[in-house]
Amino acid sequence: MARLSFLIVVVVLAIFSPRVQLAAHFDPRLLRVVAKISDRALLVRGNAPLNGAGQFDPKALTESSQVLTNLGSDPTLSVVSLVSSSMSDERAVLEAENHVHWLPVLNEMVWDLLRPDGGAWELVSELQERLLKCDVHERCLVYVHCMRGKDRTGVVAGAYAIRYQGASFVDVQKANTEIAGRELDWASQRALSWVEWRADRAEEVSAA
């Protein structure tokens, strides 16, 4: 009876205890070049650039990106974090990266009826503008990430590819599966379908 009571307590605790989500550590294998504007401006995707102690690790990020892109030494690093300040583990990422954030107002992607793409259409427009300015004035690495570099990051990378590189929804889904090892989640697929729809409408207007 005592053993049964003990097992019941363990099961109850397992079900109702708060889940603690461990922060993802930086994984260079998730790095991919999304866009390259000459040899001076690069858009790269990946996961949260944190070391084993949960601290922001710009050296590991820059060195891994240089191997991938041949960008050269000491590029200007701009980080766009697609993480939520309302979640404690993700908020810690924002705090660790705060001194290198660019466009901090775009830290959160919100799925709602007013912005079904989570704001990805507007964000990639800002990214393109930034890359074009970098190409003229400096060498820069713009790094986009969420926690694990899969869904939210996949939306932004996919939205950029659809809007500026002529990719289709099927193309970006296939690319993200190769990187993340699975398809985008439902909300991310929905967001990209809206981006593709908007890109198609923009082409129809320009052709009219």
Domain boundaries, the chain: 20-148
Identify which of 32-41, 112-121, 145-154 has the greatest average pLDDT: 145-154
CA pair distance 48, 18, nearest whole angstrom: 23
Assign 3-state DSSP to the chain and report helix, strand, coil percentages, each to 5: 55, 15, 35
Query: What's the rounded mean pLDDT across residues 159-180?
Result: 96
Among 8-17, 75-84, 104-113, 141-150, the least confident range: 8-17
Give the tokens for residue 192.
């990209």
Neighbouring CB atoms inside 10 A of 112's CB total 8
SS3 assignment, position 150:
coil
Q: How far apart are CA 96 and CA 81, in angstroms?
A: 11
Sheet-wide strand order for 140-145: 32-37, 41-46, 140-145, 76-81
pLDDT the model gives residue 163: 96
Which pTM does this prediction carry?
Answer: 0.80
